[in-house]
Amino acid sequence: MLFMVEMQVNIPLGFDADEAAQLKAAEKARFQELQAAGTWRHIWRVAGQYANVSIFDVESNSQLHDILIGLPLYPFMTMKVTALCRHPSSLHDDDR
């Protein structure tokens, strides 16, 4: 199942800089782990914002939920999740 997830990160002003740096490093490591597994298929920055648009390939809604709430920066994120399905005109066979 493919999902588009729009993530906006809002770390509060005055939040401990060292803790924020640790969370960002842990977030990057988790992202790279999920990307290597093929679960986090794509990520794009939103220009001018601390935000991204990502495509996830998961087995279920529950799996996506567990991944998202397990992200180190989750407590500071606002997300919008959109389910996707293959468009019949797509030339790509991996667009499930």
pLDDT at 5: 98
Topology given in CATH for the domain delimited by 2-57+67-84: Alpha-Beta Plaits (3.30.70)
Q: How many CB atoms lie within 10 A of CB 19?
A: 10
Picking from 80, 83, 61, 76, the residue whose alpha carbon sits closest to that of residue 27 is 76
The strand pair at 40-45 and 2-9 is best described as: unpaired
Q: How far apart are the first and last CA of the chain?
A: 7
How large is the greatest C-alpha to C-alpha distance in the chain, in angstroms?
Answer: 49
Provide the residue-wise pLDDT of the chain in tens; the chain has 96 residues.
Answer: 999 999 999 999 999 999 999 999 999 999 999 999 999 999 999 999 999 999 999 999 999 999 999 999 999 999 999 999 888 888 877 666
Which element (helix H / strand E) includes 8? strand 2-9
pLDDT at 95: 62
Report how far residue 91's alpha carbon sits from residue 73's, in angstroms, rounded to the nearest whole number: 35
Picking from 3, 4, 6, the residue whose alpha carbon sits closest to that of residue 45 is 6
Domain boundaries, the chain: 2-57+67-84
